[in-house]
């Protein structure tokens, strides 16, 4: 898949009013600060398209990006951020699970897992939930550039042992763009 155009489309704070044009949606989910927005910018080769931050909890809305005029990349708020209040966390949780459960346009969920902490309970729960909802999902191990060689092998073994339902597992560095071609090819397969 070759991305020729990538534009911010719209942000939504609820499931009401999401686009109804039937374009397939590729959704990026994962813990807060795992690198979802950075991955999106790296894939689209557009720095600053999605807002990133070293502080968790940056993305607070459902953000739609129109890709090549024929599909959407969707950037979601992260889960597992302890510092937001309980009420806010619950409302994000409901938005996230409601979106994944109800949105029939979802063609693929890309679940981002921090390669330094593979196999966390919250990520395993998300995999179970995606499977329960019948959503095809693949895994991206983020921040791959931060790992030493021995850690890389260990991270792969750990994620492979707990992600048997994943359609693919890609090691990714948004800094260098390594993993980009492989991930774009996988996305292509699911967005037809």
**Strand positions, DSSP E, 47-97:** 62-67, 71-75
Count CB-CB contacts under 10 A for residue 150: 8
Nearer to ligand GTP by C-beta: 173 or 186?
173
Contact partner, 63, from ligand GTP, Mg ion, none, Cβ < 5-8 Å per class: none
24 neighbors 64 (Cβ within 8 angstroms): no
- Binding pattern for the stretch 112-151 against ligand GTP, x by CB under 6 A and - elsewhere: ------------------------------xx-xx-----
Q: In whole angstroms, how close is the CB of 126 to Mg ion at the nearest point?
A: 16
Contact partner, 186, from ligand GTP, Mg ion, none, Cβ < 5-8 Å per class: none
Among 5, 53, 70, 122, binds ligand GTP (CB under 6 A): 53
Residue 111 makes contact with ligand GTP by CB under 6 A: no
Task: Give 29's contacts (C-beta < 8 A, 6+ positions apart).
Answer: 36, 76, 78, 79, 96, 100, 109, 110, 111, 112, 126
Q: Minimal CA–CA distance to 115: which of 80, 153, 78?
A: 153
Among 26, 34, 107, 169, binds ligand GTP (CB under 6 A): 34
150 neighbors 181 (Cβ within 8 angstroms): no
- Binding pattern for the stretch 151-190 against ligand GTP, x by CB under 6 A and - elsewhere: ----------------------xxx---------------
Q: In whole angstroms, how close is the CB of 79 to ligand GTP at the nearest point?
A: 8
| Token pair for 15 | 């499931």
Nearer to Mg ion by C-beta: 79 or 168?
79
Nearer to ligand GTP by C-beta: 32 or 191?
32
- φ/ψ of 52, rounded to 5, equals -115, 165
Instruction: List contacts with ligand GTP (CB under 6 A).
Output: 30, 32-38, 52-54, 56-59, 77-78, 142-143, 145-146, 173-175
């Amino acid at each position: 898949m070759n991305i020729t155009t990538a534009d911010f489309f719209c942000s939504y704070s609820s499931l009401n009013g999401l686009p109804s044009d039937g374009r397939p949606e590729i959704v990026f989910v994962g813990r807060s600060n795992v690198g979802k927005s950075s991955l999106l910018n790296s894939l689209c080769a557009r720095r600053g398209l999605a807002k990133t931050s070293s502080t968790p909890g940056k993305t607070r809305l459902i953000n739609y990006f129109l890709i090549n005029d024929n599909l959407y990349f969707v950037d979601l708020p992260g889960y597992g951020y302890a510092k937001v209040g309980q009420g806010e966390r619950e409302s994000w949780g409901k938005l996230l699970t409601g979106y994944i459960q109800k949105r029939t346009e979802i063609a693929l969920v890309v679940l981002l897992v921090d390669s330094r902490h593979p196999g966390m309970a919250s990520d395993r729960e998300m995999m179970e939930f995606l499977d329960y909802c019948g959503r095809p999902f693949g895994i991206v191990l983020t921040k791959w550039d931060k790992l030493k060689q021995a850690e890389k092998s260990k991270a792969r073994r750990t994620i492979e042992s707990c992600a048997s339902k994943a359609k693919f597992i890609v090691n990714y560095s948004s800094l260098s763009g390594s993993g980009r071609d492989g991930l774009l090819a996988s996305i292509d397969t699911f967005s037809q």
